C-alpha cells in the first residue's frame, strides 16, 4: 500500500471519527438546541405581546380623548352628574363593547377619588375607589395618563386611566379595563400557544384568594389542567426568576415563555405562561443522522480530493484554495457578492438563483451593479444606490452601527434583506464583501396585518409620521380616511368568526381596487381601516370616500347578505401632528355612525 493511499485512508478515518463524535454530541445536545430555539421564539412572543399592549393603550386613549371632548361630558364630570354622564356616554360605550366584548370596565372618577359612574354597573357609584386602587391614586396625584395591569375580584385586567381637564384644572379621570383573557386569546391566535395565567400572591388586590390557592413560587393561578401541573412544577424548579426555558416531559420538549403583567409602578403583578410543543422527535433525529452521514461522505470525498490535488499539484495550491472558498460561498443560502461599489466582481450561487442568471457574464450584459435592483419603500428605511452623496457601499462603511435594509423584487415578488459589508484591500484596490440576508417573513410579521396582509398599525404610524414630515417640508396636501364596517358584530354573531374574517379580506380587496398605488391602507383595529392619501385635499378625499362607500355597498359579500361601512374624512392641517389628525378623523367617523351609518362625514 502506497504512502499516499495510507495517508488518504487515515484522513478518511479521522473524518469518520470526528463526524461520528459530533453526531452523537449533537443528538445528546438536542435539548440545548431546543432551548436556543426557544430563546429566539421567546423574544418574538414578547415583542408581539408588547405590541398588543401598546396598540391597546393607543386605541383606548384615543377613544377616551374623543369621549371626554364630546359635548357635555366634561361638564357632567365636573358636576358629578351620574345620570347625565351615563346618557352622554352610553352610545359610545355600546359601540366600544360591540368592537371588543373583552372591554369589561368603563368608569368615570372624580378628582377626590370617588367613583362618579361605572358604565358596567351604573347603580354603583360614590364609593372611595381610589383608596383601594394605587393606579387611581397616582393619576389623581400626577394628573398623567397611566396604564398597566391591576387586580380585581376575579382576576386582573389591563387598565388605561386618562386624566380629564377643564382648561388647566384637573377634574377627574376616565378608566378603561380590558379582560386579561383578551390578550391570552390573541397570543393563542398569533402563536398557537396554550397559556396559563398567574397572579403575584402579594399583589392580588381585590381578588378573592379562595380562587388562587395553588401556583408557582410567589405566583398563583385560579385554574389549570391536570396535564399542565407536572409541566408547571418542572418549569418552576430552580427558576425563581421565571426565565424562559424548554422543559422535557414524556419525551417531548415544551417551550415555556413568561409574559410578565406589569402594573403602573412597573411591578410584576402577574404572568402569562405560554406553552408550545417544540419537540423535534424521532424524525428530527433521523434527519440529524442522515445529514451527518451525507456530510461525512462529502467531507471524505473533499479531503480525499484535496489531498490528491495537493500531493500531485502542490504548485497549484492557491487555485485549490480559491475553489474551496467558492464551494463554501455557494452553499451559503444568503446572497454574497464582492464589488467595488459599482461593478460586481464575484457572486455566489444564491445570487444567481435569486436573479435568474446563469453567470456574471450574462448578468453584466444587462446590469453592472446590484443596486440597479434597489427599490424605494413608503419611507426612507431602505438603502438606495446613492445615500448622502455617497455610493451605497461607502454609506454602509460610514454607518456600520445602523441596521441597513434593501428591498428587491424578482418576478413581481418583493423581498426584504438586511445588508452587512466588510471592506478589504486587494492589490491596493478597495473591495467590499457584502452579504444580503433575506428577512422577508420576519419583516411581514412586524409590518403586515396577519389576516388581511395590509399594513398593520405599527407600520402605518411610521408611514404617517414620514408623510407628515414630507407635507410640512414641501407644503403638500394630505388627507385621511377612517373606515368602520357597520354592525360587524352581527356578522360574527350570525355567521361565525371565519366568515367575519372573509368579509374583512373581501373588504380590503374592494378598498385596494378603489385607491392609488401611492395611497397607504392599513388595518386600524378590529373592523376599522385607515387610508392615507398623500397630495390629496379634502374635496378629492371626500369623493374617493363616497366612491368606496358605494363600492362596498354594491359588493357581494356572500354568504353575508349586505355589508355597508361608515367613513370619516379629514384633511391634514399645516403644523398638525399625527395624534391630532387621527383624533379629528375619528370624530368624523363617530359622527357618521351617529347619522345612521353607511355614509361619509368630512
Cβ-in-10-Å burial (0-12, 13-18, 19+) of 211 comes to middle
Q: Residue 168: enclosing H or E segment and its boundaries?
A: none
**Cα separations in angstroms, 137 against 64, 110, 119, 158:** 19, 11, 20, 17
Answer whether residue 211 shows pLDDT above 70.
no
Write the DSSP symbol of residue 371: G
Q: Can 576 be counted among the known catalytic residues?
A: no
Same domain, 320 and 379: yes
Three-state SS at 273? strand
**Alpha helix positions (H), 379-521:** 392-398, 440-447, 457-474, 488-495, 497-513
Q: Is residue 25 part of a domain?
A: no
Read off the pLDDT of residues 87-104 as tens digits, 9 standing for 90 and up: 999 999 999 999 899 999
8 Å CB contact between 160 and 57: yes
What is the pLDDT confidence band of residue 210, given thresholds at 50, 70 and 90?
low
Q: What is the CATH number of the domain that holds 362?
A: 3.30.450.20
Read off the pLDDT of residues 552-578 as tens digits, 9 standing for 90 and up: 999 999 999 899 999 999 999 999 999
Read off the pLDDT of residues 413-465 as tens digits, 9 standing for 90 and up: 888 899 999 888 877 788 899 999 988 777 667 778 889 989 899 889 988 98
Q: Of 236, 255, 281, which one is at a domain's C-terminal end?
A: 281
Same domain, 392 and 526: no
**Cα separations in angstroms, 245 against 32, 50, 565:** 10, 20, 46
Answer whether residue 284 shows pLDDT above 60.
no
Same domain, 228 and 271: yes
Cα Rg, the chain, nearest whole Å: 30
Q: Is residue 89 part of a domain?
A: no
Q: Is residue 135 part of a domain?
A: no
Answer whether residue 228 shows pLDDT above 50.
yes
Which backbone phi and psi does 254 adopt, to 5 degrees?
Answer: -120, 125
Grid coordinates representing 418 are 438586511
What's the domain count of the chain? Answer: 3
Same domain, 373 and 237: no
Grid coordinates representing 388 are 448622502
Three-state SS at 149? strand
Which backbone phi and psi does 271 adopt, to 5 degrees?
Answer: -155, 140
Q: What is the CATH number of the domain that holds 236?
A: 3.30.450
Which backbone phi and psi does 348 adopt, to 5 degrees?
Answer: -85, 180
Mean pLDDT of the chain, nearest integer: 84
Same domain, 457 and 413: no
Same domain, 247 and 211: yes
- What does the alpha-carbon distance between residue 173 and residue 143 come to, in Å, rounded to a whole number? 9
Same domain, 470 and 589: yes
pTM of the shown model: 0.42
Grid coordinates representing 177 are 379595563
- What does the alpha-carbon distance between residue 459 and residue 448 come to, in Å, rounded to a whole number? 7
User: Which residue would you say has higher pLDDT here, 136 or 445?
Assistant: 136
Same domain, 457 and 526: yes
Same domain, 419 and 509: no
Grid coordinates representing 478 are 394630505
When pLDDT is averaged across residues 347-372 and rounded to a whole number, the result is 89
Neighbours of 168 (CB within 10 A): 5
> Residue 281's beta-bridge partner residues?
none
Cα atoms found within 13 Å of the Cα of residue 13, Cβ hemisphere only:
6
8 Å CB contact between 530 and 460: yes
When pLDDT is averaged across residues 33-58 and rounded to a whole number, the result is 76
When pLDDT is averaged across residues 242-255 and rounded to a whole number, the result is 80
User: Which residue would you say has higher pLDDT here, 233 or 22?
Assistant: 233
Write the DSSP symbol of residue 379: S
**Of the candidate ranges 247-261, 312-326, 517-531, the one whose mean pLDDT is the lowest:** 312-326
Reply yes or no: is the peptide bond before residue 316 cis, omega within 30 of 0.
Answer: no
- What does the alpha-carbon distance between residue 306 and residue 323 come to, in Å, rounded to a whole number? 11
Q: Would you report the helix, strand and coil content of the chain in percent, each value rounded to 5?
A: 50, 25, 25
Strand order in the sheet with 245-249: 214-216, 219-221, 194-200, 268-277, 252-262, 245-249
When pLDDT is averaged across residues 474-488 and rounded to a whole number, the result is 95
User: Which residue would you say has higher pLDDT here, 321 or 363?
Assistant: 363
Read off the pLDDT of residues 526-554 as tens digits, 9 standing for 90 and up: 899 999 999 999 999 999 999 999 999 99
Report the percentage of the chain scoring pLDDT > 90. Answer: 40
- What does the alpha-carbon distance between residue 373 and residue 406 come to, in Å, rounded to a whole number? 9
Q: Is residue 43 part of a domain?
A: no
* Residues contacting 354, CB < 8 A, separation 6+: 335, 408, 410, 415
Biggest CA pair distance of the chain = 106
Residue-level pLDDT at 98: 92
Among residues 527, 528, 571, 587, the one annotated as catalytic is: 527
Q: Is residue 118 part of a domain?
A: no
Q: Is residue 337 part of a domain?
A: yes
- What does the alpha-carbon distance between residue 38 and residue 237 come to, in Å, rounded to a whole number? 18
The cell 356572500 sits on which residue?
A: 558
- What does the alpha-carbon distance between residue 291 and residue 597 come to, in Å, rounded to a whole number? 62
Same domain, 379 and 276: no
8 Å CB contact between 288 and 23: yes
Give the residue from 165, 54, 56, 59 showing the smallest Cα distance to 579.
59
Neighbours of 553 (CB within 10 A): 14
**Of the candidate ranges 138-142, 297-301, 338-342, 466-470, the one whose mean pLDDT is the lowest:** 297-301
**Cα separations in angstroms, 153 against 115, 212, 349:** 17, 11, 62
Write the DSSP symbol of residue 192: -
What is the chain's length? 602
- What does the alpha-carbon distance between residue 475 and residue 143 come to, in Å, rounded to a whole number? 36
> Residue 480's beta-bridge partner residues?
532, 570
8 Å CB contact between 567 and 589: yes
**Of the candidate ranges 7-21, 63-77, 235-249, 445-459, the one whose mean pLDDT is the lowest:** 7-21
When pLDDT is averaged across residues 370-379 and rounded to a whole number, the result is 81
Q: Is residue 580 part of a domain?
A: yes
Write the DSSP symbol of residue 331: T
8 Å CB contact between 64 and 93: no
Parent domain of 328 = 316-444
Q: Residue 300: enclosing H or E segment and its boundaries?
A: helix 281-312
- What does the alpha-carbon distance between residue 114 and residue 131 come to, in Å, rounded to a whole number? 9
Pairing of strands 600-601, 565-571: parallel
Which backbone phi and psi does 466 adopt, to 5 degrees?
Answer: -65, -45
Same domain, 560 and 471: yes
Neighbours of 63 (CB within 10 A): 23
Q: Is the dihedral of CA 81, 86, 88, 89 positive or negative?
A: positive
When pLDDT is averaged across residues 96-114 and rounded to a whole number, the result is 92
Q: Of 258, 281, 304, which one is at a domain's C-terminal end?
A: 281
Residue-level pLDDT at 560: 94
Highest mean predicted confidence (pLDDT) among 33-37, 323-327, 341-345: 341-345
Neighbours of 507 (CB within 10 A): 23
Q: Of 444, 478, 501, which one is at a domain's C-terminal end?
A: 444
- What does the alpha-carbon distance between residue 273 and residue 219 come to, in Å, rounded to a whole number? 11
Which backbone phi and psi does 232 adopt, to 5 degrees?
Answer: -65, -40
Answer whether residue 282 shows pLDDT above 50.
no
DSSP string, 410-442: ETTEEEEEEEEEEEEEETTEEEEEEEEEE-HHH
Report the percentage of the chain scoring pLDDT > 70. Answer: 87
Q: What is the CATH number of the domain that holds 523?
A: 3.30.70.270
Same domain, 461 and 592: yes
Q: Is residue 254 part of a domain?
A: yes
* Residues contacting 459, CB < 8 A, separation 6+: 446, 447, 448, 522
8 Å CB contact between 562 and 485: no
Amino acid at each position: 500500500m502506497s504512502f499516499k493511499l495510507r495517508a488518504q485512508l487515515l484522513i478518511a478515518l479521522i473524518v469518520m471519527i470526528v463526524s461520528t463524535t459530533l453526531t452523537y454530541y449533537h443528538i445528546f445536545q438536542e435539548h440545548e438546541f431546543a432551548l436556543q430555539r426557544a430563546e429566539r421564539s421567546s423574544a418574538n412572543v414578547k415583542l408581539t405581546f408588547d405590541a398588543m399592549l401598546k396598540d391597546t393603550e393607543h386605541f383606548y386613549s384615543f377613544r377616551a380623548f374623543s369621549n371626554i371632548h364630546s359635548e357635555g361630558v366634561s361638564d357632567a364630570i365636573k358636576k358629578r352628574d351620574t345620570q347625565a354622564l351615563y346618557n352622554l356616554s352610553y352610545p359610545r360605550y355600546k359601540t366600544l363593547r360591540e368592537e371588543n366584548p373583552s372591554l369589561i370596565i368603563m368608569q368615570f372618577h372624580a378628582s377626590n377619588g370617588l367613583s362618579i359612574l361605572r358604565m358596567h354597573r351604573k347603580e354603583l357609584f360614590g364609593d372611595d375607589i381610589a383608596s383601594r386602587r394605587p393606579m387611581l391614586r397616582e393619576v389623581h396625584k400626577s394628573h398623567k395618563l397611566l396604564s398597566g395591569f391591576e387586580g380585581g375580584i376575579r382576576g386582573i385586567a389591563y387598565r388605561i386611566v386618562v386624566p380629564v381637564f377643564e382648561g388647566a384644572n384637573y377634574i377627574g379621570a376616565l378608566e378603561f379595563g380590558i379582560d386579561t383573557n383578551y390578550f391570552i386569546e390573541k397570543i393563542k391566535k398569533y402563536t398557537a400557544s396554550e397559556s396559563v395565567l398567574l397572579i403575584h400572591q402579594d399583589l392580588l388586590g381585590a381578588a378573592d384568594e379562595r380562587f388562587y390557592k395553588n401556583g408557582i413560587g410567589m405566583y398563583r393561578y385560579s385554574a389549570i389542567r391536570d396535564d399542565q401541573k407536572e409541566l408547571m412544577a418542572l418549569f418552576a424548579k430552580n427558576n425563581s426568576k421565571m426565565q424562559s426555558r424548554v422543559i422535557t416531559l414524556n419525551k417531548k420538549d415544551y417551550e415555556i415563555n413568561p409574559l410578565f403583567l406589569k402594573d403602573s409602578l412597573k411591578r410584576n403583578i402577574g404572568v402569562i405562561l405560554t406553552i408550545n410543543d417544540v419537540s423535534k422527535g424521532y424524525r428530527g433525529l433521523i434527519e440529524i443522522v442522515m445529514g451527518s452521514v451525507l456530510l461525512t461522505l462529502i467531507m471524505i470525498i473533499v479531503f480525499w480530493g484535496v489531498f490528491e490535488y495537493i500531493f500531485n499539484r502542490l504548485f497549484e495550491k492557491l487555485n485549490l484554495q480559491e475553489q474551496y472558498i467558492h464551494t463554501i460561498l455557494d452553499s451559503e443560502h444568503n446572497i454574497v457578492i464582492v464589488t467595488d461599489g459599482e461593478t460586481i466582481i464575484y457572486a455566489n450561487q444564491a445570487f444567481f438563483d435569486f436573479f435568474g442568471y446563469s453567470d456574471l457574464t450574462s448578468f453584466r450584459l444587462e446590469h453592472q451593479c446590484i443596486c440597479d435592483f434597489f427599490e424605494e419603500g413608503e419611507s426612507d428605511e431602505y438603502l438606495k444606490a446613492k445615500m448622502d452623496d455617497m455610493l451605497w457601499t461607502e454609506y454602509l462603511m460610514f454607518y456600520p452601527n445602523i441596521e441597513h435594509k434593501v428591498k428587491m423584487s424578482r418576478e413581481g415578488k418583493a423581498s426584504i434583506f438586511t445588508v452587512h459589508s466588510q471592506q478589504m484591500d486587494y492589490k491596493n484596490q478597495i473591495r467590499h464583501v457584502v452579504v444580503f440576508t433575506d428577512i422577508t417573513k420576519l419583516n411581514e410579521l412586524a409590518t403586515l396585518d396577519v389576516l388581511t396582509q395590509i399594513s398593520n398599525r405599527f407600520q402605518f404610524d411610521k408611514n404617517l409620521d414620514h408623510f407628515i414630515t414630507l407635507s410640512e417640508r414641501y407644503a403638500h396636501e394630505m388627507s385621511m380616511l377612517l373606515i368602520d364596517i357597520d354592525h360587524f358584530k352581527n356578522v360574527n354573531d350570525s355567521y361565525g368568526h371565519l366568515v367575519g374574517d372573509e368579509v374583512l379580506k373581501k373588504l380590503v380587496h374592494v378598498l385596494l381596487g378603489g385607491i392609488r398605488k401611492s395611497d397607504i391602507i392599513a388595518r386600524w383595529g378590529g373592523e376599522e381601516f385607515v387610508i392615507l392619501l398623500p397630495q390629496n385635499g379634502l374635496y378629492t378625499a371626500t369623493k374617493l370616500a363616497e366612491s368606496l362607500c358605494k363600492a362596498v355597498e354594491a359588493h357581494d359579500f356572500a354568504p353575508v347578505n349586505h355589508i355597508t361601512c361608515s367613513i370619516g374624512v379629514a384633511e391634514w392641517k399645516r403644523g398638525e401632528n399625527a395624534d391630532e389628525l387621527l383624533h379629528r378623523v375619528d370624530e368624523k367617523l363617530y359622527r357618521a355612525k351617529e347619522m345612521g351609518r353607511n355614509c361619509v362625514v368630512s
